[in-house]
Structure 1
């Protein structure tokens, strides 16, 4: 269907609705001719305003002058003049400058489970953009899912337990097992780390070996700031020790005590989250996942509270870059 005389929108990828596909109404655009997306910036803003909260994610395709790192910043700047830095990050990525980063740089054979960006903290971006610079030879999709549907499909007793107890994320940095604290906090200063933690309600502890352990009590679900809808909003299934392959888990626990694992998560009172509970959560995430093949030049905008994202395994070269904006601080809620 036509949104305007310039753009068309459709839900051809999934009966779940997302991502909404937006293409230019130009018969030659999808066959390779150059379509300057900046010609359509007013229409693009109008599509986002009309549909982002309804669908949670919008994929822009057929604007052929996408396909470079700088396009990510330029497109994101249509909606925010100030892009966010990747503070208190949990995965390796490369800073490409001016608020643009590579997507998580895990090996190609590893799956990145569905998650909402920085849902393991009390501060997170409200919007996130993905730009496909180089599509993988095979695989490499960025699966997405509607966090409202996930919330409603999580068994009630699990959801209520998570909401009542909340979640305690524990991280141990460095030691050759995870990102060093200097990388995570973008500083070599212990004082600056301690100040950041105080300001963000993170408990910091310097261990005897000079490494850092942090603990933070966070939400399990949230309400969308505009629509008021409830969403599943945490990374318990990703941080929990059960997310590790069994062989990897055994090796790690031979090296360190469970409290010294690079990352783990507990109920907010410090009690253990049962593996079986998180298996049920993962089943829901799998059921709600939507896959679509990237094409070079594609651009996807997500409402980070309404849509979760992940990454499939892939072969060949793959480059997807990311930008984030509109930071929200839940500690400042009235």
Structure 2
């Protein structure tokens, strides 16, 4: 079956819009037929939006994801609340509707991440709820060489404190209620971990600030320092968090890898560089969006009314392992 392809918006190069040429097509079958072509176009454009294929169930989306990705990640060492829909399919981050999710690359706060993120709109919000995306090639250029060099050389350290009823519980993050399993996971992942008391766990991990795309060879900004840093909550909320927990025991905080504080102007350069490149993908029911996770960041706008976006994370890549 042939497909129609064009820019979703004439002013932006991606996502490339892919639509069917006849009614009631089976997108998983189309992708199976054009697998090599689609993977080449995803690498070229970084973002593909399939519209008009009526992918209206988790089962159909799972079948679609099978055609474009492999080795789905099970989302251990979590940073956001999600609900499993089965077979490696999850809901998109379940933060409150009034809270915007800043642009980020999935799992960039880890040493391992998915190269492919696939979204499916099972139900669009009645108002708002778009998914902004941003080219990391353009954002990297906008962030600038000086900031990039600093992140590349010094890397990023993420420090988290897990307590009852604050942020995500450690049982959810590590997908276990066994403290020995947490220790095993942390040791294998190079995560410092310490129980400050019976209920309070502190972790710290140093990860990349910049990463090289394994296929294109491009050096890209790739971390979540701007999300984990308390300043991402806004000045008033950040100060309230510091007053409540102390600057050294915040639920989440980011530093340079050497432990030095991240300066406000550095974080502002990162946020501004990302936001300048943002393009909102307004969802229609049945849409499927594929993102090369190193070429494109994504986020979420505020919304009202029910909204259900399913997600798969595939094609795992390790920055610290060969191949």
Q: TM-score if structure 2 supplies the norm length?
A: 0.96
Equivalent-residue separation in structure 2 for 1:320 and 1:21 (angstroms): 18
Structure 1: gaps (5+ residues)? none
Q: Deviations over 1:97-156 (max 9, x none)?
A: 110000000011110001010000101111110000000111101111111111122122
Equivalent-residue separation in structure 2 for 1:83 and 1:142 (angstroms): 22
- Matched with 1:50 is 40
Deviates further, 152-161 or 89-98 = 152-161
- Matched with 1:16 is 12
Whether 1:285 and 2:281 are equivalent positions in the alignment is: no
Equivalent-residue separation in structure 2 for 1:237 and 1:292 (angstroms): 22
Equivalent-residue separation in structure 2 for 1:14 and 1:323 (angstroms): 28
Structure 1 segment 151-300 matched on structure 2, within 5 A = 151-300=140-289
Q: Deviations over 1:4-48 (max 9, x none)?
A: x6101111325331111100123xx4xxxx332244233442442
Over 3 Å counting, the alpha-carbon distance change for 1:255 and 1:208 in structure 2 is same
Structure 2: gaps (5+ residues)? none
Deviates further, 265-274 or 76-85 = 76-85
Q: Deviations over 1:132-183 (max 9, x none)?
A: 0000111101111111111122122111111111110111113322111111
- Cα drift, residue 272 of structure 1: 0.5
Equivalent-residue separation in structure 1 for 2:300 and 2:285 (angstroms): 16
Whether 1:134 and 2:123 are equivalent positions in the alignment is: yes
- Matched with 1:7 is 3
Contact 2:69 2:116 in 1 (8 A): no
1:60 paired residue among 46, 50, 59: 50
Root-mean-square deviation (CA, aligned residues, Å) is 1.5
- Cα drift, residue 54 of structure 1: 1.3
2:25 paired residue among 13, 35, 42: 35
Q: TM-score if structure 1 supplies the norm length?
A: 0.93
Q: Deviations over 1:161-217 (max 9, x none)?
A: 111111101111133221111110011111111110111111111112432111111
- Cα drift, residue 332 of structure 1: 1.3
Number of residues of Structure 1 aligned to a counterpart in Structure 2: 323
Equivalent-residue separation in structure 2 for 1:44 and 1:117 (angstroms): 26
Equivalent-residue separation in structure 2 for 1:49 and 1:209 (angstroms): 48
Give 3-state SS (helix, strand or coil) of 2:68's partner. coil
